[in-house]
């Protein structure tokens, strides 16, 4: 276990350094937080247009859709904060051969490459997103229960792991394609699909999004919070997340075998 | 002016060639710009469950959002990030030394990319209109000519509006955020969040006077044959008016801003 604590300690140091350097640009940080809040209001107002014409779309009321939109912002905030800044650097790592130096460090290569950097600008997005989710729950007027909160936390943890796996898969591809910027867009597109509950799309899109596991990102965690999740999902979600994690790690290792250093 | 006219074709062509060279990137850009299709998908569910909202059928939504995707890829918004990056890095200094004003350097570079997008999207849209039932546009040559002019106006206004905002960079480091705020607010009045016909009356009234609809909703509504001649002329008048306003704002801001510019590097 000492390996894990050592890894956690070193990542903690890296992240503290990232926060410390960003604190220099306080106004920039405030401006970005304000923009994040604006985008959430934007999304909430935009979704409300549908409900001018109907009380519920595919069984989701306006308040329930807000729960999902909040989760979307929370997850996307985590993606922009931890995953995107690292994925962005992959092109340079490969092109300049920096990856050589990262691989020989006495630290797990996948963790180092995928978690080393931190974008502090969306630090508060998960908090803001969960605030919108809470607002949605309050607006439904039904409240929630301890059991629902517990299953929500469980499903959300699975969703974060799943999103991490998607990004590691993109990193593996980046080693081969050397096009991290575009792959970043693809990973964003995955998450973007989870902006609305998947039920809002009709088939075949809905089925595809359930298989591609977009539904596990926001729809099922929201359903858990609203107390209407199929209990078997509590087992299926970790299985899906774990499978995705293992597959992504295998893809990463495979891509490293094909990597030939570019540094001299 | 003559110099400018001779400079435009080769600069636009070289930008288009760059775009074609990185075509994988462009295709990904088109595919990932699918947000309008998400909102469309939700509208289709609304239609399927409760009937056409405000008389908008499945076919109307398909036609609207297919054309909206075209407009989304035709906007000149991207120049904001180019200006911002060059002001930060000091690369703007090099651009200032060139014989063509930086505005035209960014404009030609962006235009080249947009034309390649158009070359991909217009045939796709035409094929879709022929194959997909419900996705239809009136095939009236006069109307299509008017749409072509409206598209040019949409691009010109979005480019000029974005460039004017980019000049905020002479005073502040928050250019892109200021632009995103402006764009985000405008997206309710442009037809981007939802077709304006489905928006509340007060918003539709305001949108008719604001610049945003010119760059998005107006060409789409025109293409769908939803505007009578009076509304068409009015739409063009509003668009041209705002084009003049932003041209003036741009000139004033540029004159004041460039005096403040101190190159960081180059």
Mutate to test the interface with B, among A29, A36, A50, A179 (most CBs of B within 10 A): A50
Q: By CB neighbour count within 10 A (0-12 exposed, 13-18 middle, 19+ buried), where does A164 fall?
A: buried
Contact A91, A178 (CB under 8 A): yes
Q: A262 pLDDT exceeds 70?
A: no
Q: A4 pLDDT exceeds 90?
A: no
Helix (H) or strand (E) holding A61: strand A60-61
- The tens digit of pLDDT for each residue in A219-228 reads 999 999 999 8
Q: Quick one: pLDDT band at residue B25, thresholds 50, 70, 90? A: low
The more confident residue out of B264 and A240 is A240
The more confident residue out of B230 and A22 is B230
Q: Do A57 and B45 touch (CB under 8 A)?
A: yes
Res A99: pLDDT? 83
Any A CB within 8 A of B33 CB: no
Say how many CA atoms lie within 13 Å of B152 toward its Cβ: 6
**Cis status, amide bond into A5, omega within 30 of 0:** no
Taking contacts as CB-CB distances below 8 angstroms, the residues of chain A near B199 are 49
Res A41: pLDDT? 94
Mean pLDDT value of segment B86-103: 89
Nearest to A57 among B49, B173, B181 (CB): B49
CA–CA separation, A227 and B153 (whole Å): 51
Mean pLDDT value of segment A12-33: 85
Res B33: pLDDT? 67
Range with the poorest average pLDDT among A62-71, B4-13, B137-146: B4-13
pTM of the predicted protein model? 0.88
Taking contacts as CB-CB distances below 8 angstroms, the residues of chain A near B44 are 202
Nearest C-alpha of chain A: how many angstroms from B182? 11
Express as a percent the part of chain A with pLDDT over 90: 41
Express as a percent the part of chain B with pLDDT over 70: 94
Angle A146-177/A62-78 helices, nearest 10 degrees? 50
Considering only CB atoms, which residues of chain A are within 8 Å of chain B? 27-28, 31-32, 34-35, 38-39, 42, 45-46, 49-50, 52-54, 57-58, 179, 181-182, 185-186, 188-189, 192-193, 195-196, 200-202, 205
Res A155: pLDDT? 95
Q: A264 pLDDT exceeds 60?
A: no
ipTM of the complex: 0.86
Residue A2, helix vs strand vs coil: helix
Any A CB within 8 A of B265 CB: no
Q: Do B199 and A49 touch (CB under 8 A)?
A: yes
CA–CA separation, A18 and B209 (whole Å): 46
Q: B35 pLDDT exceeds 80?
A: no
CA–CA separation, B40 and A248 (whole Å): 32
Mean pLDDT value of segment B203-220: 94
Q: A94 pLDDT exceeds 70?
A: yes
Q: Which residue of B has its CA nearest to A38?
A: B181
Q: Do A42 and B46 touch (CB under 8 A)?
A: no
Q: Quick one: pLDDT band at residue B180, thresholds 50, 70, 90? A: very high
Contact B109, B19 (CB under 8 A): no
- The tens digit of pLDDT for each residue in A116-159 reads 888 888 888 999 999 999 999 999 988 888 999 999 999 999 99
Q: Do A200 and B194 touch (CB under 8 A)?
A: no
CA–CA separation, B148 and B165 (whole Å): 26
Where do the structural domains in chain A lie, given as residue ranges?
A: 2-257
Any A CB within 8 A of B90 CB: no
Residue B48's φ and ψ, nearest 5 degrees, are -65, -35
Any A CB within 8 A of B181 CB: yes
- The tens digit of pLDDT for each residue in A175-192 reads 877 677 777 877 888 888
Taking contacts as CB-CB distances below 8 angstroms, the residues of chain B near A193 are 38
Res B209: pLDDT? 95
Any A CB within 8 A of B201 CB: no
Any A CB within 8 A of B126 CB: no
Q: Do A196 and B24 touch (CB under 8 A)?
A: no
Any A CB within 8 A of B38 CB: yes
């Amino acid at each position: 276990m000492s390996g894990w604590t050592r890894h956690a300690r070193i990542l903690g140091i890296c992240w503290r350094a990232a926060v410390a350097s960003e604190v220099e640009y306080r106004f920039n940080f405030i401006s970005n937080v304000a923009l994040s809040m604006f985008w959430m209001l934007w999304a909430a107002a935009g979704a409300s247009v549908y409900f001018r014409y109907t009380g519920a779309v595919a069984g989701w009321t306006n308040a329930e859709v807000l729960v999902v939109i909040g989760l979307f912002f929370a997850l996307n905030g985590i993606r922009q904060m931890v995953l995107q800044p690292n994925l962005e650097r992959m092109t340079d790592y490969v092109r300049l051969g920096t990856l050589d130096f990262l691989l020989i460090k006495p630290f797990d290569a996948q963790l180092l490459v995928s978690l080393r950097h931190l974008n502090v600008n969306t630090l508060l997005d998960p908090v803001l997103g969960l605030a919108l989710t809470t607002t949605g729950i309050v607006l439904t007027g039904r409240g929630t229960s301890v059991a629902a909160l517990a299953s929500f936390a469980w499903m959300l943890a699975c969703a974060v792991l799943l999103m991490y796996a998607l990004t590691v898969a993109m990193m593996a591809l980046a080693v081969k394609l050397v096009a991290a910027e575009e792959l970043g867009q693809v990973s964003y597109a995955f998450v973007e699909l989870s902006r609305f509950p998947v039920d809002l799309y009709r088939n075949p899109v809905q089925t595809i999004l359930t298989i591609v596991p977009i539904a596990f990102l926001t729809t099922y965690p929201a359903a858990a919070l609203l107390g209407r999740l199929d209990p078997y999902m509590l087992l299926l979600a970790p299985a899906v997340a774990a499978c995705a994690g293992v597959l992504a790690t295998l893809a990463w290792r495979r891509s490293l075998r094909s990597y030939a250093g570019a540094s001299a | 002016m003559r110099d400018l006219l001779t400079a435009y074709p080769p600069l636009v062509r070289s930008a288009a060639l760059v775009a074609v060279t990185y075509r994988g990137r462009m295709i990904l850009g088109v595919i990932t710009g699918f947000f309008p299709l998400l909102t469309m998908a939700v509208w289709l569910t609304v239609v399927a469950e409760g009937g056409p909202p405000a008389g908008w059928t499945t076919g109307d939504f398909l036609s609207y959002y297919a054309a909206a995707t075209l407009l989304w890829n035709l906007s000149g918004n991207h120049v904001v990030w180019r200006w911002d990056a060059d002001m930060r890095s000091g690369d703007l200094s090099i651009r200032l030394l060139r014989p063509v004003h930086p505005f035209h350097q960014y404009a030609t570079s962006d235009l080249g990319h947009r034309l390649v997008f158009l070359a991909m999207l217009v045939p796709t849209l035409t094929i879709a209109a022929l194959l997909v039932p419900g996705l239809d546009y009136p095939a009236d040559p006069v109307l299509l000519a008017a749409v072509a002019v409206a598209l040019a106006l949409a691009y010109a206004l979005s480019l000029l509006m974005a460039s004017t905002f980019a000049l905020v960079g002479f005073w502040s480091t928050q250019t892109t955020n200021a632009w995103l705020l402006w764009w985000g607010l405008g997206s309710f009045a442009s037809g981007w969040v939802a077709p304006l016909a489905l928006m509340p009356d007060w918003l539709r009234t305001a949108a008719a006077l604001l610049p945003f609809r010119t760059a998005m909703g107006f060409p789409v509504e025109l293409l769908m044959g939803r505007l009578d001649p009076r509304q068409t002329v009015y739409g063009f008048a509003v668009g041209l008016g705002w084009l003049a306003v932003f041209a003036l704002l741009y000139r004033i801001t540029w004159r004041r801003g460039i005096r403040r510019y101190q190159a960081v590097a180059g």
